[in-house]
Chains A and B, each alone.
Chain A
Amino acid sequence: MTAFPSVEWFDDVRDIFNHEDSFRGGGGGQCNCVAGIKVGNEIFVLTFEGFECAGARKASLGDLDEVDFYLDMEILEWQAMIENIRQNGHAGLGYTLNTLDLDRAERLATSVHGDQYREDLFFRYNQTLQYFFDASSRIATEFAS
């Protein structure tokens, strides 16, 4: 069991994502962006380069200034999404990243800089980002109670 959120959890997902050929087709493929992940007050930064998620690191609030966009949800919302992915093998109808971004008062994907060109990377690489989180269905996750 790997705890979410943690660098270890993202590394486990990266390991699956980076070695799964099917994620490179079907609208996936090369992806170049830096994405922040905000889980409550905890911050992580994922770097996508080419076909891979090249790195995951713990970060601070100030680091969000530098990312192209960041995904912001409370821990219970992240938990609901990850558990749904685990149950279905992929995100169910109500839990795809795009759906979560649209179906809530506060956006899932946002940025500090406000540059829509960079925020649009969330849309341009959406299938890859979805594949990344869908890869978490193959690991056992535990959540802080």
Chain B
Amino acid sequence: MSEAEKLGPDYELDLGWMDQTGPWDTRAEEGRNGLTLADIQVGEYGRVPDESDNQTGRPRGSAPRSGSYRIGNYAVRTKSEIWLDNASFLYEEALQRQWSSATDVPWHTIEPLPDDIEQAQCQMATFLTEVEFVAGDVPARWVSQTTPDFFEARQLLTAQVMDESRHMDVFRKRAMANGGGLMAATGATSGFVGSIDLSRDFTEMSARLHISGEGAVLTIFRMGELMAYNDAEKAMYRLCAQDEARHVAYGVMHMRYMAETAPERHEEINCYFDEAEAGILSGSANPAGQAPILSEPLAILLGGGIAKFDEGFKKLVALRRRQIQEYKKRVVSAGFGARFENGRSRINEILEQAAAA
């Protein structure tokens, strides 16, 4: 016997919900790239408030529900704290350019490597698995703290979490794929990387994670192609670099928005860059830094073995220069280039000290 409620013949439908809509008669049209988030920014639905009082999880543009209680913990309710102008575009790009660590990496091309090379590759894989945990955990925390009115930025962060999850698994797979395994944890999640998760607001987090942290890792991923010994490692690093470049783009575009809309925060943001630059080559946060647990395997991979360590170390120094050059240009692009003109930044001095060490 069915447990469904039986309605009497004189039952009248309420239908009150039919009168409570957002703007009606909306006809979003798909463009060349399909029906994207940008295509549905139609009329009122496309209006992003500078301040949001939405504490109820109400989708932007929908009719409010009376008597609703507070949902979530939306600390981020000021647009400038999280916004970037191309969030929709980057989100669609993230969806379109996904890849599978199981099937898009030609694992069959991996062949036995000399022990020192395999150990160095596994140490890098261990380190990258370690730091990608942070890169996934931190954005995830901010998703839930952001009002649904800024859903474009939220969704982009959610896509980033998926990317970082894949990075965690692909490096773990590499460690397990060729007779090696995971090596020692490097402690990279303490110090500067660990401090990312202590950020008090999103912009502080983004300066540390997207521009400083991921910018440095982006160079390492790209360099990964230079220290790859087979097509599988090439693909693994190249595909991770693509994702990482998108995350860096989030940071640059957010900082650019902040630079234009919140000049009162310039000094504060410069402090985050001061902090990042002071630690960029020290500690174990940056694999191209000076900690032996990472700089040695990198030099071994770049040189082609322990016997060619010096050759590899020269390449590592060149890598550091490129890493810092790219960092500086990103900070300029983000609207904070004055620090390299007015003597505030010590990044060149730090680089020269590291090269001489």
B97 x A96 contact (CB < 8 A):
no
A117 x B226 contact (CB < 8 A):
no
Contacts A30-B33, A117-B249; is A98 near B96 (CB within 8 Å)? no
B99, B222, B242, B332: which contacts A102 (Cβ < 8 A)?
B222
Chain A 81-123 per-residue mask, 1 if CB under 8 angstroms from chain B, else 0: 0000000000001001011011100000000001111011101
A26, A93, A117: which contacts B231 (Cβ < 8 A)?
A93
Q: Is B339 an interface residue (CB 8 A)?
A: no
B96, B226, B246: which contacts A30 (Cβ < 8 A)?
B96
B93 x A98 contact (CB < 8 A):
no
Chain B 249-277 per-residue mask, 1 if CB under 8 angstroms from chain A, else 0: 10011000000000000000000000000
State how many angstroms separate the Cβ of A141 from the closest Cβ of chain B.
23
State how many angstroms separate the Cβ of A129 from the closest Cβ of chain B.
10
Query: For A25, what are the chain B residues with a Cβ–Cβ distance below 8 Å?
Result: 99, 104
A26, A28, A102, A130: which contacts B223 (Cβ < 8 A)?
A102
Q: Is B193 an interface residue (CB 8 A)?
A: no
A98 x B249 contact (CB < 8 A):
no
Query: For A28, what are the chain B residues with a Cβ–Cβ distance below 8 Å?
Result: 97
State how many angstroms separate the Cβ of A65 from the closest Cβ of chain B.
17
Closest B-chain residue to A122, C-beta based?
B245
Q: Is B174 an interface residue (CB 8 A)?
A: no
Chain A residues within CB distance 8 Å of chain B: 25-30, 49-50, 93, 96, 98-99, 101-103, 114-117, 119-121, 123-127, 130
A99 x B225 contact (CB < 8 A):
yes
Chain B residues within CB distance 8 Å of chain A: 32-33, 92-93, 96-100, 104, 218, 222-223, 225-226, 228-231, 234-235, 238-239, 241-242, 244-246, 248-249, 252-253, 322, 326, 329-330, 332-333
State how many angstroms separate the Cβ of A5 from the closest Cβ of chain B.
24
Instruction: For the complex, give the distance between the alpha carbons of A115 and B235 in Å.
Output: 26
B238 x A116 contact (CB < 8 A):
no
State how many angstroms separate the Cβ of B341 from the closest Cβ of chain A.
14
Query: For B32, what are the chain A residues with a Cβ–Cβ distance below 8 Å?
Result: 49-50
A30, A120, A125: which contacts B248 (Cβ < 8 A)?
A120
Query: For B238, what are the chain A residues with a Cβ–Cβ distance below 8 Å?
Result: 27, 96, 98, 126-127, 130
State how many angstroms separate the Cβ of A30 from the closest Cβ of chain B.
4
A27 x B333 contact (CB < 8 A):
no
State how many angstroms separate the Cβ of B95 from the closest Cβ of chain A.
8
Instruction: For the complex, give the distance between the alpha carbons of A28 and B234 in Å.
Output: 15
Instruction: For the complex, give the distance between the alpha carbons of A105 and B99 in Å.
Output: 32
A27, A29, A117, A127: which contacts B253 (Cβ < 8 A)?
A117
- Apart from the given pairs A102-B222, A116-B333, A117-B249, 6 other A-B contacts in the complex at a CB distance below 8 Å: A29-B97, A30-B33, A93-B228, A99-B234, A120-B245, A124-B245
Contacts A27-B104, A30-B93; is A116 near B330 (CB within 8 Å)? yes
Query: For A123, what are the chain B residues with a Cβ–Cβ distance below 8 Å?
Result: 218, 222, 241-242, 244-245
Instruction: For the complex, give the distance between the alpha carbons of A119 and B249 in Å.
Output: 11
Contacts A93-B234, A115-B329; is A126 near B99 (CB within 8 Å)? no
Chosen A-B contacts, 21 in total, with CB atoms closer than 8 Å, are A25-B99, A27-B97, A27-B242, A50-B32, A93-B229, A96-B225, A98-B222, A98-B226, A98-B241, A99-B225, A102-B222, A102-B223, A116-B330, A117-B330, A119-B329, A120-B330, A123-B241, A123-B242, A124-B249, A125-B242, A130-B238
State how many angstroms separate the Cβ of A81 from the closest Cβ of chain B.
14
Instruction: For the complex, give the distance between the alpha carbons of A119 and B22 in Å.
Output: 41
A120 x B242 contact (CB < 8 A):
no
Query: For A116, what are the chain B residues with a Cβ–Cβ distance below 8 Å?
Result: 252, 326, 329-330, 332-333
Query: For A103, what are the chain B residues with a Cβ–Cβ distance below 8 Å?
Result: 226
Contacts A93-B230, A123-B241; is A27 near B99 (CB within 8 Å)? yes
Query: For B322, what are the chain A residues with a Cβ–Cβ distance below 8 Å?
Result: 102
Closest A-chain residue to B247, C-beta based?
A124
Instruction: For the complex, give the distance between the alpha carbons of A28 and B98 in Å.
Output: 8
A30 x B92 contact (CB < 8 A):
yes
A124 x B231 contact (CB < 8 A):
no
